[in-house]
Structures are given as structure tokens and as C-alpha cells.
């Protein structure tokens, strides 16, 4: 359901005028991804003779979030301070009175986020893909430079001395238990993951958790921002590298591991050049983990459709995509078992 | 005997209607959902054309792997039971032998390929094994 943009504009006018202590008007509101549970509304704040290009992010209802708006925006600020390309947070408000749920207001950054638009840009500029790959490596190094102990308490999914791989596997075991039908292919992946865990990382770090082609902004110059920090947490940095390289996020550009636009090497070289530690086994492990995680995620979407939690035809279609992830998983296991 | 059109003919008819009449007329979220629907129609067309051959082959592979007999009338029931049995073995705390894991992987890949042939033909054009050392 689309949001009532004139009502949002009126509330933004009142909020910003009160906060900035001078008359401010919100104009040109555009809702991106209409119907998503989390609202992202682009707008301009007219402030005297200045215009600020901003984004209003409204949280989904409380049951659908892992942590609050303060923790997410604190992670954004830590990532920004570390040098990662992220939106700058101007306003944070945990009060649901304004827009029905907590929200924050951040800078609007230029660029395409639709995967196919990004792949079209890359097809037109032969140097762009590898450049974005390298920029992602540098950005990851910045994010992963944030020590887990400095991250907000709410982002700690497990104790800082726990094994992120073991703790993450518990979550997947639970999802496998919830499936509507037996899935021995996915269970085999889980078996391998359980028996071949990577070394404990020296320190847990800030991990974004969902960097993929679809959650980044790219323009003609390259990577401009990493979006959607709602799943960030402390953990093993290789989780981010492996998840980005799951085949689904390549959108047909299969041979280019990073989002279908870059080989792995530019990303890893830039990551290491920026001082981050790369362990090939941990990378492979987290890529297998990510492939299994998304296979289980698609099965969960189909289950939510079938049990009526969220009737939506695209989620029914997701059930018939589980075999893609199962196949990728089994092909990787052909080398690993 | 059911009257014509057959189930396959009905699916082709719905698919043509979505492709030729609905898709050119819709945009945005409605277009996306219509594309999903049109794709699912084609999935069903392929599933119907494949018949029960893929399930029979899957049952044969699983029975051989697990060392049991399964050749009764209840194909769907057998598949549920055999897949659940294999999953239980793979999740058991005691480590199955490497030979068993490899044989299970081979059998599961063959079934995944049969599923892909229905759900996403051509997906096996790329082999992610080359990304692993």
C-alpha cells in the first residue's frame, strides 16, 4: 500500500521546523520500493534559500525489526567515521508519534540501486565493474575496522568471544527445522558447514550482513553508497565477503563473482591493501553459508505465503527457486567434500 | 475422460493470455507480479510434460543410497519418507562416512538437476565448483 505523501510532507515540515528552529518545508516526496515494510521516502527540505537532498527512513512495525533506530544509526555513524561510503545521518527519532514508527533522516546519495541498472552501466563502461569491485573491498575494510566492542550493544548477536560460525549455524539449523518438507540437499550443506568451520576471527568486527547487488548505489564514477543497515551485527568479516558473492546477486553475470560485475580479485586485493585480513577458507565457508542461508530464506518466503503470513505471488515463486541455491551448494560441495 | 482442453492446453492458454494481452497493458508492481505468474505457468507446463519420471528416478536413487526397497503405489509418500530418512542421517551427530556423503551429494545433485529442468532450465550452464579450490 502506498503511503500518504502529503500527510508525510506536513509531518516533516513540523518536525524539521521544530528541530532546526526555523521554517523548513519538505517538497518533491517520492517513495522508493512502494509496499516494502520499511519506508524510504526521498525528499528535498527547503530551508530558506537552501535545498537539502534527504531521505526519510521509516521503520517497519516493531515485530519486524531486530533492533531500534538508535542502534542502526549508530552503526551508520561508526561506518562513516571509519571511511565507508554511507549516508550521513542528520536526524534520529524513536518517537512513533510522527510517522507511526521510529524513523531517521539521512543524506540522499546519487546512484542506481537496481541490479539490472548497475549491470547496464557496467556493460557500457569496461572499467566500471572492476572499479566498483575494488571500491567494495576498500569499503569492507573500513566497515570491518570497527571493533565489535565499539559497536552498540544491540548489534551483538552473540558474546564477543563466541564463535560467529557456530552461532550462525544454530540459526540455520532452526530454519531447516521449520521447512515444510525435508531438504536433504540443504542438510548436507549444513553438515559440511558444521564439520569444517573456519578459525575463530581474532576479533569480532562490525558486519553489515546484507551487502549485495541490490543494496549498493553505483553511478558513473563507481560505488557511491552501501545501503540498508537493518541487519548489521558483530561477527566474522568474511560473512560480508561471502554473502556478496552468492550467485543469486550476480543476476546472470555468473562468471563475475562480485555482483555479476567484478571478479573476486579486485575486491580482495583492495581489501588487503587497506589492511584487512583475508582467509580463503573462511571466505569459501561463508560463501557456502550464504548460499545455504538464501536457499532457506527462499523456502521461508514460500512458507509465509502458504501459511498465510504474507500472501504474495512472488513469494510463492521463491519456493521454486530453492533448487537453484541447492544446485550451487552441491556443486561447491563436489570440490569440498 | 475429462473434456478438452487438457490441463496442458489450459496452461498454454493462460500463459499466452498473460504474455500477449496482460503484460503489454500493465506496469510497475503489477507488471512484476504478472511476470512471476507467467513464469510459474511455464514451470507448470514443464512439470506436466515431465510426468512422474523425475520422481521415480529420485525414489530409485534414494532407495539405493539408503539400502531400502521402495517401489509401491505411493510415490509421493515414498519420496517424503526417503528424503526425511536421508536428512535425518545427514543431521545425526555421528559423522557419516565420506563415501556416504559423496554418494548422497551425487544423488541429490541429480534430483536438483531434474528440479531445475522444470523450474529454471539452463541454470546449470554455470558451475560454481570452479570457484572453490
Option in A187, A287, A335 nearest B129 (CB): A335
- Among B83, B86, B87, B110, the strongest candidate for a mutation testing the A interface, having the largest count of A CBs within 10 A, is B87
For residue A333 the three cell numbers come to 560441495
Among residues A305, A303, A307, A284, the alpha carbon closest in space to that of A295 is found at: A303
Say if residue B94's pLDDT is above 90.
Answer: no
Kindly report, residue by residue over A72-86, the tens digit of the pLDDT.
Answer: 999 999 999 999 999
DSSP A258: B
**Whole-number pLDDT of residue A37:** 76
* Chain A residues inside the 8 Å CB shell of B124: 327
Mean pLDDT to the nearest integer, B9-16: 98
Say if residue B79's pLDDT is above 70.
Answer: yes
**What domains does chain A contain, in order, with CATH numbers?**
5-107 (3.30.200.20), 115-336 (3.90.1200.10)
Give the chain B residue whose CA is nearest to the CA of A258. Answer: B131
Contact B83 A181 (CB under 8 A): yes
**Whole-number pLDDT of residue A36:** 66
Kindly report, residue by residue over B32-67, the tens digit of the pLDDT.
Answer: 999 999 999 999 999 999 999 999 999 999 999 999
Residue, of B95 and A118, whose pLDDT is higher: A118
Among residues A259, A234, A239, the alpha carbon closest in space to that of A172 is found at: A239
* Chain A residues inside the 8 Å CB shell of B80: 181-182
Kindly report, residue by residue over A172-230, the tens digit of the pLDDT.
Answer: 999 999 999 999 999 999 999 999 999 999 999 999 999 999 999 999 999 999 999 99
- The domain limits of chain B are 7-50, 53-126
3-state secondary structure of A223: strand
Say if residue A1's pLDDT is above 80.
Answer: no
Residue A33 neighbours by CB under 8 Å, 6+ apart = A40
- Cα A200 to chain centroid distance, Å, stands at 23
How far apart are the C-alpha atoms of A208 and B17, rounded to whole Å? 43
Residue B114 neighbours by CB under 8 Å, 6+ apart = B50, B54, B57, B58
| CB contact B108 to A (< 8 Å) | yes
Kindly report, residue by residue over B104-119, the tens digit of the pLDDT.
Answer: 999 999 999 999 999 9
For residue B88 the three cell numbers come to 535425518
Say if residue A282's pLDDT is above 60.
Answer: yes
Residue A245: pLDDT band by 50, 70, 90 thresholds?
very high
- Cα A75 to chain centroid distance, Å, stands at 13
**Whole-number pLDDT of residue A233:** 97
3-state secondary structure of A251: coil
Rg, C-alpha atoms of chain A: 20
- Distance to chain B for A3, nearest Cα, Å: 15
**Whole-number pLDDT of residue B95:** 80
- Among A185, A189, A195, A299, the strongest candidate for a mutation testing the B interface, having the largest count of B CBs within 10 A, is A185
* Chain A residues inside the 8 Å CB shell of B40: 313, 316-317, 320
Mean model confidence pLDDT for chain A: 96
How far apart are the C-alpha atoms of A248 and A94, rounded to whole Å? 35
Percent of chain A with pLDDT over 70: 99
Contact A313 B83 (CB under 8 A): no
| CB contact A316 to B (< 8 Å) | yes
Say if residue A314's pLDDT is above 70.
Answer: yes
Burial status of residue B7 (CB atoms within 10 A of its CB: 0-12, 13-18, 19 or more): exposed
Amino acid at each position: 500500500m502506498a503511503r500518504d505523501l502529503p500527510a508525510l510532507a506536513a509531518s516533516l515540515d513540523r518536525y524539521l521546523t521544530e528541530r532546526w528552529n526555523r521554517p523548513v518545508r519538505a517538497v518533491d516526496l517520492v517513495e522508493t520500493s512502494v509496499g516494502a515494510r520499511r519506508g524510504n521516502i526521498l525528499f528535498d527540505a527547503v530551508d530558506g534559500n537552501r535545498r537539502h537532498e534527504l531521505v526519510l527512513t521509516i521503520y517497519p512495525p516493531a515485530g519486524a525489526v531486530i533492533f531500534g533506530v538508535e542502534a542502526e544509526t549508530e552503526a551508520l555513524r561508526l561506518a562513516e567515521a571509519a571511511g565507508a561510503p554511507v549516508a550521513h545521518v542528520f536526524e534520529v527519532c524513536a518517537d512513533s508519534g510522527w510517522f507511526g514508527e521510529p524513523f531517521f533522516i539521512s543524506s540522499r546519495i546519487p546512484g542506481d540501486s537496481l541490479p539490472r541498472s548497475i549491470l547496464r552501466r557496467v556493460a557500457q563502461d569496461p572499467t566500471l565493474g572492476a572499479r566498483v569491485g575494488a571500491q567494495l573491498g576498500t569499503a569492507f575494510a573500513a566497515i570491518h575496522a570497527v571493533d565489535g566492542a565499539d559497536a552498540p550493544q544491540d548489534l551483538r548477536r552473540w558474546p564477543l568471544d563466541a564463535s560467529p560460525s557456530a552461532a550462525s549455524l544454530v540459526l540455520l539449523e532452526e530454519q531447516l527445522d521449520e521447512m515444510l518438507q525435508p531438504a536433504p540437499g540443504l542438510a548436507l550443506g549444513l553438515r559440511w558447514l558444521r564439520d569444517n568451520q573456519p578459525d575463530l576471527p581474532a576479533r569480532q568486527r562490525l558486519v553489515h550482513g546484507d551487502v549485495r547487488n541490490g543494496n549498493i548505489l553505483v553511478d558513473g564514477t563507481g560505488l557511491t553508497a552501501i545501503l540498508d543497515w537493518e541487519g548489521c551485527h558483530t561477527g566474522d568479516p568474511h560473512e560480508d565477503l561471502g554473502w556478496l558473492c552468492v550467485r543469486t546477486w550476480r543476476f546472470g553475470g555468473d562468471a563475475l563473482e562480485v555482483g555479476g560485475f567484478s571478479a573476486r580479485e579486485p575486491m580482495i586485493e583492495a581489501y588487503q591493501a587497506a589492511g584487512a585480513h583475508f582467509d580463503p577458507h573462511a571466505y569459501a565457508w561463508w560463501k557456502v553459508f550464504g548460499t545455504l542461508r538464501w536457499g532457506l530464506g527462499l523456502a521461508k518466503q514460500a512458507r509465509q505465503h502458504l501459511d498465510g503470513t504474507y500472501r504474495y505471488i512472488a513469494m510463492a515463486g521463491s519456493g521454486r527457486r530453492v533448487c537453484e541455491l541447492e544446485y550451487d551448494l552441491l556443486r561447491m560441495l563436489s570440490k569440498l567434500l | 475422460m475429462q473434456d478438452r482442453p487438457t490441463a496442458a492446453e489450459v496452461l498454454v492458454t493462460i500463459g499466452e493470455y498473460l504474455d500477449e494481452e496482460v503484460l503489454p497493458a500493465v506496469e510497475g508492481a503489477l507488471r512484476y507480479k504478472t511476470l512471476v505468474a507467467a513464469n510459474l505457468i511455464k514451470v507448470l507446463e514443464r512439470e506436466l510434460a515431465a510426468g512422474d519420471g523425475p520422481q521415480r528416478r529420485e525414489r530409485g536413487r534414494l532407495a539405493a543410497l539408503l539400502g531400502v526397497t521402495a517401489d509401491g503405489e505411493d510415490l509421493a509418500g515414498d519420496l517424503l519418507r526417503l528424503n526425511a530418512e536421508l536428512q535425518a542421517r545427514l543431521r545425526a551427530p555421528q559423522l557419516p562416512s565420506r563415501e556416504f556423503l559423496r554418494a548422497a551429494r551425487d544423488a541429490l545433485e541429480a534430483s536438483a538437476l531434474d528440479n531445475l529442468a522444470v523450474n529454471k532450465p539452463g541454470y546449470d550452464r554455470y558451475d560454481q565448483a570452479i570457484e572453490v579450490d
